[in-house]
């Protein structure tokens, strides 16, 4: 892939028009969403999506989330039953992705859906993302704007560090407010939680009046098993190995703390950052990827992560950390939590 002169533009009407022009020409635009920065391409163009895969160095079997402006636009692409319409009505715009069966006339390319008969759809709430989608007026694939498997970006600087020279435009609107990716729910035969995220399992269960089915690992790897993004075993990963539920720190490790307590040997840490001194899971989610990147840059032998509760947003945070901590040489496999 030829090196590009990646332009960074501050969010505003001019950047929106520039993003529209780049997308219309088949180019790649990184833009902010409320979760993380996404890398946008025309979802109806196989060539544009192929360029996105090349820029991210992403496995072509991993499907992409398609972003649209509203429920009406989504219904042109997928079949909505009463359950899906209710979820969309309650949580769109926002950080919930629905996996649904594609309509027979769905214009989204096969590469974007990894050849499956399902499609992952989201309506983001970030005003900059919504302005760009409205201006372009076509569905846009927008996986996280980083090289595949790396830590997701929550700022324009993160995007430039990973993809500068590989994409056309970065629209900078400051840090992403949520900091972890969208929750993914499949509305097929069952309601299945494919990936925990910014909308917690508890909130969804409270709205639905019932729990969600957890996705069981398949007996063997298959393309069909990967219904949604973020399901590779090693994902969201810094260069340094990640060690979860750490209650001690080895010399040369960096420490990712949570809450007011510290391990007794915290002085061994090469560097230390705290996701939330007060133990606030929303603050921890917003800081997660940025803090992982900063600790990775310090040259530590590993990143030791203190225990984080599994309730609420903690489930999404721990899911990302488990993916980051997974061995890099094993076959990718969906996890029971998504």
Q: How many CB atoms lie within 10 A of CB 267?
A: 11
pTM of the full predicted structure?
A: 0.81
- Per-residue pLDDT tens, the chain, 338 aa: give them: 556 789 999 999 999 999 999 999 999 999 999 999 999 999 999 989 988 988 988 766 678 999 999 999 999 999 999 999 999 999 999 999 999 999 999 999 988 888 788 999 999 999 999 999 999 999 999 999 999 878 899 999 999 999 999 999 999 999 999 998 999 999 988 888 988 999 999 999 999 887 777 655 443 344 334 666 655 555 557 889 999 999 999 999 999 999 999 999 999 999 999 999 999 988 988 888 889 989 999 999 999 999 999 888 888 788 888 888 887 653 333 322 22
The C-alpha atoms of residue 194 and residue 216 are separated, in whole angstroms, by 10
pLDDT in tens, 244-301: 999 999 999 999 999 999 999 999 999 999 999 999 988 988 888 889 989 999 999 9
Q: What is the pLDDT of residue 31?
A: 98
**Residue 223 contacts by C-beta under 8 Å, 6 or more apart in sequence?**
61, 114, 115, 116
The C-alpha atoms of residue 24 and residue 33 are separated, in whole angstroms, by 20
pLDDT in tens, 45-58: 998 998 898 898 87
The tokens of 290 are what? 């940025």
β-bridge mates for residue 237, sequence order = 150
Residue 97 CA neighbour count, 13 Å, CB half: 31
Which residue ranges form the domains of the chain, and what is each CATH number? 7-225 (3.90.870.10), 242-325 (3.40.50.11030)
């Amino acid at each position: 892939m030829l090196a590009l002169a990646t332009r960074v533009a501050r969010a505003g009407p001019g950047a929106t028009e520039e993003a529209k022009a780049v997308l219309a020409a088949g180019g790649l635009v990184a833009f902010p969403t409320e979760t993380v920065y996404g890398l946008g391409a025309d979802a109806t163009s196989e060539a544009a999506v192929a360029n996105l895969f090349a820029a991210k160095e992403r496995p072509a079997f991993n499907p992409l989330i398609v972003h649209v402006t509203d429920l009406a636009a989504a219904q042109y692409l997928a079949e909505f039953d009463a359950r899906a319409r209710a979820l969309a009505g309650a949580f769109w715009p926002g950080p919930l992705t629905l996996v649904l069966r594609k309509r027979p006339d769905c214009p989204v390319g096969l590469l974007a859906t990894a050849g499956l008969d399902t499609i992952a759809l989201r309506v983001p709430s970030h005003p900059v993302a919504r302005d760009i989608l409205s201006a372009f007026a076509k569905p846009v694939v927008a996986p996280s704007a980083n090289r595949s498997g790396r830590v997701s970006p929550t700022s324009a600087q993160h995007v430039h560090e990973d993809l500068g020279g590989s994409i056309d435009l970065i629209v900078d609107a400051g840090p992403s407010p949520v900091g972890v990716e969208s929750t993914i729910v499949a509305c097929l035969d069952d309601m299945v939680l494919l990936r925990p995220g910014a909308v917690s399992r508890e909130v969804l269960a409270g709205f639905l009046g019932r729990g969600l089915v957890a996705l069981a690992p398949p007996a063997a790897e298959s393309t069909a098993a990967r219904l949604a993004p973020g399901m590779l075993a090693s994902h969201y990963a810094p260069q340094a190995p990640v060690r979860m539920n750490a209650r001690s720190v080895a010399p040369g490790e960096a420490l990712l703390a949570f809450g007011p307590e510290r391990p007794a040997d915290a002085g061994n840490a090469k560097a230390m950052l705290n996701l939330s001194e007060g133990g606030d899971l929303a603050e921890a989610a917003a800081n997660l990827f940025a803090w992982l990147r900063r600790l990775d840059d310090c040259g530590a032998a590993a990143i030791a992560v203190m225990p984080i509760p599994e309730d609420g947003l903690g489930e999404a945070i721990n899911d990302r950390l488990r993916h980051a901590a997974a061995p890099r040489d094993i076959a990718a496999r969906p996890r029971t939590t998504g």
